[in-house]
Structure 1
Amino acid sequence: MNDTVSAALPLTSWQGEKATYHLVIFTGPEAEALAGHALMQRLEFGRRAGFGSIKVTARIGATAWKTSVFPQKHQSQWVLLIGKKVMRAEGLAPGDTIEVAVTPV
């Protein structure tokens, strides 16, 4: 399953102890597709990646990078962290709705 999952998602921020993190959260059919990929990966390789994550190539606008998405709430939500370099390159700010595409690798 190497299908790209795309969605228009709000960019949110979360204040951690040491930094502010920017992220988007996949829910609904997009989260189900990612959970399906995680299941297939587990069946094929017999193990889970760190924190149940899936390695992906992410794309926002003209910027693409390799990263991971992380499951939340029993895989009904998947979190993609957005780094400062991507934020600057694409002119993003918290509250923006952005087109995000992730392709499992």
Structure 2
Amino acid sequence: MTKDELHAFLIAYFDLVVDSVERGNRRSYFLRRVIWHPSSSTRILHVQYDDRDAVTHIKRCVSSDNNNSVFAPLGPEWLLREAVSEEIDLHWARCNNH
């Protein structure tokens, strides 16, 4: 999957947005609006690309912590859709517990 294909998929299916300040071979995706503050962050995914704009990995930000990173699969679209849906569900659960 390319950078543009993944971007179109994430904004069409999940209402995710990117931080317009980010540059280079990475993008962070946020749920509806960009909030970086750790206690109220809306960051859902962090995506890395190679020099040809191919996706190299997708980090699940809500599932990850300072010591462990959790990555979404780079396989079929349905598997990625499931992983992103789970990450958004975890975000809402975290919001409801605060």
TM-score normalised by the chain length of structure 1: 0.28
Larger Cα Rg: Structure 1 or Structure 2? 1
Relative contact order higher in (CA < 8 Å, ≥ 6 apart):
1
TM-score normalised by the chain length of structure 2: 0.29
Q: Whose helix proportion is higher, 1 or 2?
A: 2
Q: Whose strand proportion is higher, 1 or 2?
A: 1
